[in-house]
């Protein structure tokens, strides 16, 4: 029986027998880099090929055998070499997630939805933030493609045609979140804002509001154009109610909401209600109105969109339109996993509808109260 002697990084000596380790309890205290497939196979009494299939999930292995191999790996504190594993399987077990604004509370739950399902399926998530910058979005996506990751989820408003083309040409599986188009041959999650916006406008009309402003996101964004169009479609149907409206451009941020609200306060005839394209904008508007001695909702009612956590914390609590952010993230990851496993699947599309959540920032029109 041959004995092999190794020194670890601290100069300590490890003795390994030809057939099995001399002392597992002592060996597992040392660095896992010392252990390879052959070592695990000898202790688990399986072939190195079986160990490889258990680690890389490349072939069926019985539950009993798998448990035996995993138990040995745990005892030895073995960690797979991801680089070597990627070379062997052609997969990096990493996916990229591109978002618009890491500071926006809309995204943490979405990211959590992606990450939890990714981890369950042995994938790591590489996060990229575009800051609503189209060029930054292109650079981030290009970097992910060059890293040869297994797939990409684009949950960013900056998904323009050039970015889509780059993704298609790369042949890397990808999923688009809220791109705004359903009839393209691309896996996507489509947000139907019409239901929530219609509920919001009709609710305001029922409260007696007849002058309603809409603060959009940057008009260069496809999603902003969609929300504007949905808003106009609804208010145009309310013409018999003598409803007037105005569209103002924001930037999806609190600062942008403050800036637009200050412009509104300079008008002689103020609106009775303001609908915002996201909650951060609405919170900024509320802050500016408060500074300008405008009471919400007594003077002006405000509605946001997203239903982020802050909407229940601000005072008054914000009436908003809800999107299920965690479910959006997990569904996007589910579609991506489907595509990674089977590249020839038919196009996958999921639709998420907004719904109105009524809180304290809306009430009867001041004109009705007067």
Give the pLDDT score at 98.
94
Nearest CA to 95 out of 131, 119, 79, 78 is that of 119
Question: pLDDT (tens digit, 9 = 90+) per residue, 23-50?
Answer: 454 444 444 446 788 888 889 899 988 9
For the beta carbon of residue 364, count every other beta carbon within 10 angstroms.
16
Q: Which domain holds residue 365?
A: 194-322+356-369
243 and 364 share a domain?
yes
362 and 258 share a domain?
yes
Three-state secondary structure along 171-234? Answer: CCCEEEECCCCCCCCCCEEEEECHHHHHHHHHHHHHCCCCEEEEEECCCCCHHHHHHHHHHHHH
For the beta carbon of residue 244, count every other beta carbon within 10 angstroms.
12
- Name the 3-class secondary structure at 158: coil
Question: 160: which 2 tokens?
Answer: 């323009």
206 and 76 share a domain?
no
80 and 128 share a domain?
no
Q: Provide the number of structural domains found in the chain.
A: 3
294 and 221 share a domain?
yes
219 and 317 share a domain?
yes
Taking a C-beta distance cutoff of 8 angstroms, is the pair 73, 44 a contact?
no
Question: pLDDT (tens digit, 9 = 90+) per residue, 301-329?
Answer: 999 999 999 999 999 999 999 999 999 99
Pick from 12-21, 104-113, 170-179: least confident: 12-21
Using the 3D structure, point to which of 51, 69, 88 is the last residue of a domain. Answer: 88
240 and 365 share a domain?
yes
| Mean of the per-residue pLDDT values of the chain | 86
Average pLDDT over residues 248-273: 96
Residue 80 has pLDDT above 80, yes or no: no
Element spanning 276, H or E: strand 273-276
* 217 φ/ψ angles, rounded to the nearest 5 degrees: -85, -175
277 and 345 share a domain?
no
CATH number at residue 344: 3.40.50.2300
Q: Categorize the per-residue pLDDT at 298 as very low, low, confident or very high, splitting at 50, 70 and 90.
A: very high
- Name the 3-class secondary structure at 14: strand
Give the pLDDT score at 198.
95
Q: Categorize the per-residue pLDDT at 202 as very low, low, confident or very high, splitting at 50, 70 and 90.
A: very high
Nearest CA to 356 out of 323, 328, 331 is that of 323
């Amino acid at each position: 029986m041959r004995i092999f002697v190794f020194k670890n990084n601290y100069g300590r000596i490890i003795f390994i027998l030809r057939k099995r380790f001399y002392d597992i309890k002592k060996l597992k205290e040392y660095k896992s880099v010392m252990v390879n497939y052959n070592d695990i196979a000898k202790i688990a009494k399986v072939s190195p090929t079986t160990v490889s299939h258990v680690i890389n999930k490349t072939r069926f292995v019985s539950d009993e055998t798998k448990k035996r191999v995993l138990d040995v790996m745990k005892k030895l504190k073995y960690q797979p070499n991801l680089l070597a594993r990627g070379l062997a399987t052609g997969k990096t077990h990493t996916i990229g997630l591109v978002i618009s604004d890491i500071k926006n509370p809309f995204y943490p739950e979405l990211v959590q939805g992606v990450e939890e399902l990714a981890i369950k399926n042995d994938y790591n998530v590489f996060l990229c933030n575009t800051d609503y910058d189209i060029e930054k979005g292109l650079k981030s996506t290009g970097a992910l493609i060059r890293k040869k990751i297994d797939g990409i989820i684009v949950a960013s408003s900056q998904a323009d045609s050039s970015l889509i083309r780059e993704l298609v040409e790369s042949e890397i599986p990808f999923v688009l979140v809220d791109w705004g188009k359903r009839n393209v041959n691309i896996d996507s999650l489509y947000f139907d804002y019409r239901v929530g916006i219609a509920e919001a406008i009709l609710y305001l009309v029922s409260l007696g509001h007849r002058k309603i402003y809409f603060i959009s996101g940057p008009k260069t964004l496809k999603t902003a154009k969609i929300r504007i169009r949905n808003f106009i479609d609804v208010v145009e149907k309310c013409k018999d109610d003598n409803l007037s409206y105005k569209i103002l451009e924001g930037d999806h941020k609190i600062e942008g909401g403050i800036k637009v609200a200050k412009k509104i306060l300079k008008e002689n005839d103020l609106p009775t209600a303001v609908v915002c394209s996201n909650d951060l904008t609405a919170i900024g508007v509320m802050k500016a109105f408060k500074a300008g001695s405008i009471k919400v909702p007594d003077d002006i009612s405000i509605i946001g969109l997203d239903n982020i956590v802050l909407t229940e914390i601000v005072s008054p609590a914000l009436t908003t339109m809800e999107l299920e952010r965690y479910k959006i993230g997990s569904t996007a990851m589910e579609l991506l996993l489907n595509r990674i496993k089977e590249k020839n699947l038919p196009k996958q599309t999921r639709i998420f509808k907004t719904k109105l959540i009524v809180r304290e920032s809306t009430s009867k029109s001041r004109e009705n109260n007067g």
